[in-house]
Every structure is written in structure tokens, then in C-alpha cells.
Amino acid sequence: MPIQVLADEVASQIAAGEVVERPASVVKELTENALDAGARVIEVSIRDAGKQLIEVSDDGSGIAGAEINLAVARHATSKLSLADDLFNIRTLGFRGEALASIASVSEFTLTSHRLDEASGREIRILGGKLVGETAKGSPQGTLVRVENLFHNVPARLKFLKSNAAERQQIDALVMRYALAYPEVRFTLRHDGRTVLQTSGDGDRRAVLASIYGPEVARQLVEVEFGMEGEKLSGFISPPSLTRSNRRDIIFFVNGRWVQNVPLTTALLQAYHTLLMVGRYPLAALFVEIPPPEVDVNVHPAKSEVRFRNQDKVFSMVQRAARRALLAHSPVAGMEVGPVWTQPINWQSGQPQRPGLDWTMAGEALPEGVAAGGEGEDEAEVGLEARGMAQAQLPGNRIPLLRLLGQIGAAYLVAEGPDGLYLIDQHAAHERVLFERLMEQGEKKLAQALLEPVIAQFPPSQMNLLRQELQTLRNSGFDVEEFGTNTVRVRAIPADLSGADPVLLLRAVVEDFEEDETPLQAEREARIIARVCKRSAVRSGQVLTPLEQKNLLESLEQCISPRTCPHGRPTMIHLPVGLLERQFGRRGAR
């Protein structure tokens, strides 16, 4: 075949493929347009999961009658004119291709009315071809109707998932925008039924309540953090409130929902050792950063971004979240220990209540009794089961326990003032080793370097170093000033030996800047690795009564005895009240 320029229609459909993958992508583009137009009220109506109809109306600025045709032309936008503007984008749209793309794969109607014009205007486009244009009496704002999406691209239609799955994508999308723009009143309807409605009063916690329910919203911890022109705000769940997947971790950058693995990683690091393996927090976090610091033109769908200074954003998220978590104390009036409020159906091993994905303090999942087994069991049910008995913040010590014995060469059984404890001997020993090693690290022995190392610092950090010289020496560094803005390092803390002394010192300075215990994170990571290598007591190992007693006593001494350093539970607690209920004694008295 000779080389030929593609017909416009074909080119549009190819481009559409990148922007409009499924009904939710249409909802996304239309919602973003409405937000860019300054809308305060946005209504989304869906029929047949978006296959039949997607309608988005807004009360925004509207489009001038004379420009309405341009709005659906490819590469036509009012949001950008110079190439340089690409590096200073403050709107959600900028590529000028969404409406053209959508119109090329649907039956498309655009109605718009600008306030300063006498009447509105409507155009109708079928498969990319203009078929009608009329004046139209309509309220200020814009209404887009997208009917029979992909009617002319059968291959796309075939790739759509079930209605339930497509609907779920739309719901998640509108929910995210409702969260990001609490001052906008959002309504989402499926087949005439309202599934989401926000008030638009600017209260983000109220939006969270309309999405996750008031009980969850009440428990979320607020994050507020600013640093050098960058800002992080939003909500994260306390360690006692988790999910089995990352779906409820959402990030916005400058009002744009983004998928960015490093941001999620940073958040998860903030929960380090607070969550069990396989459990994830819920988070809605909003990063505000000067537009030139972030590249949003990575993919046509605009949900990927690149940061000019990735590390800086990463560390802001990690620190802000960590700080919020540590400052947070459990909501007053909440029960401390897990108490099961519903009887368990022992036949099925399931709780007799709807299978909520949440585990909350005071509401742990009872399957743990039956299934809380080996750490090797990574099946979803096992993870779910381990969801119990967490529900504790660190620093929650356990009461003195009376050892009853060992079962299955894997668990210790003990009695406390408040019921029965089953303790995983392997996880417990890991916790004990971890805290011992952390404590040894505290003693801060110095390890001399073979050759002194020179490091340079900017003046502000140099000042800080000078002030904190004594702290540095106490923590095992041998550092002295060595010319302007330069220091010489002769020794580093022994428990961090082998690390790059310059990087280590920089990390310390950053910790000083943030007012944090120097090198805490670095220490933890290393020690966890060591604990794993050192043979902790295995499960399957029969312990003598003395060994059992020693292990139990050491665990009682721990600061955070309820999870192992990887975040798995060390124990399951069966409170007396639960036992009474299970034996049917509660009501009898």
C-alpha cells in the first residue's frame, strides 16, 4: 500500500482511542471541562452504564455561540496558546481534543449558553459529522449529551466490561472529583436513581461521609502540611481503619486526580509497622505545587504526572502523613480491644453480618479465630482474617499475662484480666528482637571510617549542623567543621555502618529540619532486615515452659507488642465479653 495521509475521520478515531477508552473516560473529560468552566453545580446522568447515555450539565461560563463549532474541532482549546504554557498549566484540560474525540465515537449533542449572550446554541454531531446547529433557549452553562457511545466502533464496544464494572468506574471517578472539589455540588444518577449527592458547602469531611458513611468519615485523620510553596492536605485513615486493597488511596495534584506509584509508596511508608501485611489505609490527599514543578502532559488521559523534584514531593507526603498519624489519638469513647458485636456463624466461619471490607477498632473480623494462621498464607481470606486484633495504635502495651501453655507448637495461650490471648510465638519473638535491637541502636556506638569523608552543605543546613553538633556526636557521628559550609566526617553510628556517610548526614540534617528523631526510618528498616535474618523462634518449634514464660515476659515489656515489625499481629485477644456472648450467657443475666 502506498503511504497516504489518514482521512480525518480515521485520525480522530485513533486519537479518540487514547482519550476515550470507556464510559468513565467520557465522564472524566466532561466533568473536567465543567470544572474548568468554573461550575458550582455539576450533574451527571447515566443510562445503561453509559452505553446508552452520558449526560453532564454544568452552570459554568458557557461557550460563546460563535465558538461552539470550534469547541468540537480537534486541537481547539481556550486554555493554552503557546508551547511555553504547557509548563504552566492551571486547568484540567489543555489538549483540546476531548470533545472532538468523544464526538467522533458517539451521537453527540452540545448545548451551551454564555451569560452575556441572549440565547444559547446547540450543535449535534453524528460519528464526527456535524448534522445540526440551532439557537436554543437554555440556562447559563453547558449540557453535553453523549448517546450510543462507540456505536461506530464495535471493537471498542466488545472491550467494555459488565455494566456493574463500568458503573463502578464512573462512580469512583465522580466520587473522586466530588472529594477534590467540595465547594461544587455534584449529583450522580444511574438510570434515574441518585447514587451520589454532595452539598457543595466546601466541607470535605461531609463529602467523605456521603461516600464512606459517617462512621468512617468521623475517624479519618486530617493532614495539613506546608513546605516551601508546596502544600499537602486531606484525610487519611488511622491504623485501625484499613482496607484489603489500595483502591481507596487517592491523590490529587493541583486539583487533578493522578495515578502515581511513588506517592502511594510514600503514604504506605508513613504507616510503616503500623499496618498489617496486606492491609491498606484509606486516603484522599491533595498536593498543591507550583505548576512549573509538575509535568501533566505525559499521556492523553492526563492522569499521569511527572514531578521535577520527585524526592521532595515524596518526602512531604511521607512526613506529613507520619506526623498526622503520630499526633492522632484514637477517637474518645471507642472500645480499645477488639470486641465482636455480632455472633459468629461457626458453620460457615463467617460473621453474621454483611461482609464489610472495613476493619475498625471494636469491630475486628472474627474469621481470625479460625483462619489466623501461618504468615505464608497470602490468600485473601487469610489476609482478611489477619485484619483482626490490629485495631491498636503503637504504644498500646498488653497487661500482665498468665501463661497457660503452648498449642500446635506455634501458639502460646495466656490469660489476662480481660480474657484469653493467643500469641503467635514466631511473630512475638520478632517483635521482641526488633525492640531490643532498636534499643541497642539507641546507645549509639561510633564506627570510625577508614578515611574521613568531606561533605558540603548549603548555609542554612550548615547552621543547623553547627547547632546540633552535640546531638550528632551523641548519636555516634564524629563530625567537625572543615572550611566554609563543609564538614569532615570521621565516624558514623555503628549500627548504620556500611552506609554512605554523606547520604546519612544529609538524611540527619533533613530530620533536624523536620524536627524528627534523626535516622529513625533508616534504623527501623535495617533492623527489620536483621530481625528476619536472625532466627527468631519458628512456628513448629516446641518451647520449654521456661522459654514460653521468657517469651511472654519479653513481649509484655515491648512498647508495641501487638504487631510484629512487618505489621502482622502477634496475638489474638478473645475478651471475656465475647466468650460470654458466644456461649449465650450475656442475655441470660
User: Could you say which of Mg ion, ligand ADP, none residue 34 binds, taking C-beta under 5 to 8 angstroms by partner kind?
Assistant: ligand ADP
Which member of 19, 34, 44, 98 binds Mg ion (CB under 5 A)?
98
- Candidate segments 86-94, 105-113, 270-278, 516-524, binder of Mg ion by CB under 5 A: 86-94
Q: Which residues contact 588 (CB under 8 A, 6 or more apart)?
A: none
Tell me whether residue 33 or residue 560 sits nearer to Mg ion (CB atom).
33
Shortest spacing between CB 188 and ligand ADP, in angstroms: 17
- The two most distant CA atoms of the chain are separated, in Å, by 90
Tell me whether residue 93 or residue 382 sits nearer to Mg ion (CB atom).
93
Phi-psi region of 444 (alpha: psi -120 to 50; beta: other; left: phi over 0): left
Tell me whether residue 93 or residue 278 sits nearer to Mg ion (CB atom).
93
User: Could you say which of ligand ADP, Mg ion, none residue 473 binds, taking C-beta under 5 to 8 angstroms by partner kind?
Assistant: none
User: Could you say which of Mg ion, ligand ADP, none residue 109 binds, taking C-beta under 5 to 8 angstroms by partner kind?
Assistant: none
Tell me whether residue 41 or residue 469 sits nearer to ligand ADP (CB atom).
41
Tell me whether residue 71 or residue 527 sits nearer to ligand ADP (CB atom).
71
Tell me whether residue 93 or residue 300 sits nearer to Mg ion (CB atom).
93
Main-chain phi, psi angles of 188, to 5 degrees: -125, 125
Shortest spacing between CB 39 and ligand ADP, in angstroms: 7
Tell me whether residue 25 or residue 406 sits nearer to Mg ion (CB atom).
25
Name beta bridge partners: 413. Answer: 405, 422
Whole-angstrom Cα distance, residue 378 to residue 357? 17
Tell whether residue 33 is a contact of Mg ion (CB under 5 A): yes
- Candidate segments 98-106, 178-186, 228-236, 410-418, binder of Mg ion by CB under 5 A: 98-106
Residue 359, all three cell numbers: 476493619
User: Could you say which of ligand ADP, Mg ion, none residue 77 binds, taking C-beta under 5 to 8 angstroms by partner kind?
Assistant: ligand ADP
Tell whether residue 60 is a contact of Mg ion (CB under 5 A): no
Q: Which of 71, 60, 72, 55 is nearest to 114 (CA)?
A: 60
What is the DSSP track for 335-396? -SS----S-EETTTTEESS---S-B-TT---THHHHH---TT--SHHHHHHHTSS----TT-
Shortest spacing between CB 41 and ligand ADP, in angstroms: 12
CA distances from 158 to 155, 162, 420 (A): 5, 10, 55
Tell whether residue 300 is a contact of Mg ion (CB under 5 A): no
Tell me whether residue 76 or residue 217 sits nearer to ligand ADP (CB atom).
76
Tell whether residue 387 is a contact of Mg ion (CB under 5 A): no
Shortest spacing between CB 173 and Mg ion, in angstroms: 14
Shortest spacing between CB 102 and ligand ADP, in angstroms: 8
* Identity of the amino acid at 88: N
Whole-angstrom Cα distance, residue 581 to residue 351? 14
Whole-angstrom Cα distance, residue 544 to residue 548? 6
Tell whether residue 93 is a contact of Mg ion (CB under 5 A): yes
Name beta bridge partners: 493. Answer: 446
User: Could you say which of ligand ADP, Mg ion, none residue 63 binds, taking C-beta under 5 to 8 angstroms by partner kind?
Assistant: ligand ADP
User: Could you say which of ligand ADP, Mg ion, none residue 340 binds, taking C-beta under 5 to 8 angstroms by partner kind?
Assistant: none
Element (H, E) at 141: strand 141-147
Tell me whether residue 62 or residue 65 sits nearer to ligand ADP (CB atom).
62
Q: Which of 77, 80, 127 is nearest to 98 (CA)?
A: 77
Residue nearest to Mg ion (CB): 93
Cα end-to-end span (Å), the chain: 89
Residue nearest to ligand ADP (CB): 93
Name beta bridge partners: 122. Answer: 111, 134
Shortest spacing between CB 147 and ligand ADP, in angstroms: 17
Name beta bridge partners: 189. Answer: 45, 194
Site residues (vs ligand ADP, CB under 6 A): 29, 33-34, 37, 58, 60-63, 71, 76-79, 93-100, 142
Shortest spacing between CB 44 and ligand ADP, in angstroms: 12
Whole-angstrom Cα distance, residue 270 to residue 252? 18
Tell me whether residue 174 or residue 505 sits nearer to ligand ADP (CB atom).
174
What is the DSSP track for 420-461? EEEEEHHHHHHHHHHHHHHHHHHT--EEEEEEEEEEE--HHH
User: Could you say which of Mg ion, ligand ADP, none residue 79 binds, taking C-beta under 5 to 8 angstroms by partner kind?
Assistant: ligand ADP
Whole-angstrom Cα distance, residue 274 to residue 163? 37
What is the DSSP track for 169-224? HHHHHHHHHHHH-TTSEEEEEETTEEEEE---SS-HHHHHHHHH-HHHHHHPEEEE
Main-chain phi, psi angles of 444, to 5 degrees: 60, 65
Tell me whether residue 19 or residue 274 sits nearer to Mg ion (CB atom).
19
Tell me whether residue 142 or residue 242 sits nearer to ligand ADP (CB atom).
142
Whole-angstrom Cα distance, residue 172 to residue 52? 19
Whole-angstrom Cα distance, residue 398 to residue 401? 8
User: Could you say which of Mg ion, ligand ADP, none residue 425 binds, taking C-beta under 5 to 8 angstroms by partner kind?
Assistant: none
Q: Which of 64, 59, 67 is nearest to 37 (CA)?
A: 59
- Candidate segments 96-104, 214-222, 325-333, 495-503, binder of Mg ion by CB under 5 A: 96-104
Whole-angstrom Cα distance, residue 74 to residue 99? 8
Tell me whether residue 91 or residue 539 sits nearer to ligand ADP (CB atom).
91
CA distances from 261 to 35, 97, 131, 446, 507 (A): 26, 27, 44, 37, 23
Site size toward Mg ion, by CB under 5 A: 3
Main-chain phi, psi angles of 527, to 5 degrees: -70, -35
Shortest spacing between CB 439 and Mg ion, in angstroms: 57
Shortest spacing between CB 103 and ligand ADP, in angstroms: 9
Q: Which of 567, 588, 569, 585 is nearest to 577 (CA)?
A: 585
Tell me whether residue 33 or residue 359 sits nearer to Mg ion (CB atom).
33
- Candidate segments 32-40, 158-166, 497-505, 564-572, binder of Mg ion by CB under 5 A: 32-40
Shortest spacing between CB 60 and ligand ADP, in angstroms: 5
Shortest spacing between CB 469 and ligand ADP, in angstroms: 54
- Candidate segments 27-35, 58-66, 431-439, 512-520, binder of Mg ion by CB under 5 A: 27-35
Shortest spacing between CB 67 and ligand ADP, in angstroms: 7
- Which residues of this protein are in contact with Mg ion, per CB under 5 A? 33, 93, 98
